[in-house]
Amino acid sequence: MNRCIVYFSKDGNTEYVAKLLASEIEGELIKLAEKSPRDGVIGFIKSGFQAVTKASSKLIGEPWNKIEDFDFIYVMTPIWAGNGTPAINAFLDKVDLKNKSIGIITLQSDASHKGIEKTHEYLMNRVKSKGGIATECFALTGSSPGKFAGEERLKNEFKRVIMSGSA
Ligand SMILES: Cc1cc2nc3c(=O)[nH]c(=O)nc-3n(C[C@H](O)[C@H](O)[C@H](O)COP(=O)(O)O)c2cc1C
């Protein structure tokens, strides 16, 4: 099975876990990069607003055209204001997921993952509307906003949640 990992990461936590997963499953990494920066307090507020309104951002290149050869795709995003990110929304707007299986992986600061089922359900429905089947969802604890949780913590979280198979 050909597998890839499509991810967005602002502060490096999701990216770090995406790389751990890539080496574990020998999957290809597809990084989503945005055209506009999200610096400072204004960037933080803008990001929360866009996430809560389920807006899409402008991405560099056409990453949705890179997934054709893969039959299993992990979609990874941080949680912003209780939602996925504008970059993931933009990817899901354009991608064709017909006959593809999808795993959804989210990272967030709230270790209780309150309300994550609803967010996962929203992302699963977006996948379904693009012809894909979301087969599994994982909720990981990352860092507080703007921070990096550290390699050891993220490695442990990766092992605990993804490698043990519990969502
Ligand atoms: C704009 C913004 C909003 C956030 N909102 C939430 C939230 O609603 N709930 C939560 O648990 N964490 C929230 N976070 C924290 C991130 O989900 C967390 O720091 C994650 O590990 C970031 O991943 P990254 O390093 O890959 O960007 C938010 C972070 C940012 C920047």
106 Cα to the center of ligand 1, angstroms: 10
pLDDT for position 1: 83
| Ligand 1 pocket, mutate which of 88, 108, 151 (most atoms under 8 A from CB) | 108
pLDDT for position 119: 98
160 Cα to the center of ligand 1, angstroms: 20
- Ligand 1 atom having least distance to the Cα of 145: 19
Burial 65-104 (b: 16+ CB within 10 A, else e): eebeebebbbbbbbbbebbbbbbbbbbbeebebeebbbbb
Q: What residues form DSSP beta bridges with 3? A: 72
Q: pLDDT 10s digit of each residue in the chain, 167 long? A: 899 999 999 999 999 999 999 999 999 999 999 999 999 999 999 999 999 999 999 999 999 999 999 999 999 999 999 999 999 999 999 999 999 999 999 999 999 999 999 999 999 999 999 999 999 999 999 999 999 999 999 999 999 999 985 44
Task: List the domain boundaries for the chain.
Answer: 3-163
19 phi, psi to nearest 5 deg: -70, -35
- State how far the alpha carbon of 32 is from the alpha carbons of 86, 104, 142, in Å: 10, 15, 18
Assign domain 3-163 one CATH number from 3.40.50.150, 1.10.3720.10, 3.40.50.12280, 3.40.50.360. Answer: 3.40.50.360
- State how far the alpha carbon of 107 is from the alpha carbons of 64, 68, 153, in Å: 22, 26, 13
83 Cα to the center of ligand 1, angstroms: 9
pLDDT for position 165: 58
39 phi, psi to nearest 5 deg: -80, 150
Contact between 20 and 155 (Cβ < 8 Å): yes
pLDDT for position 167: 47
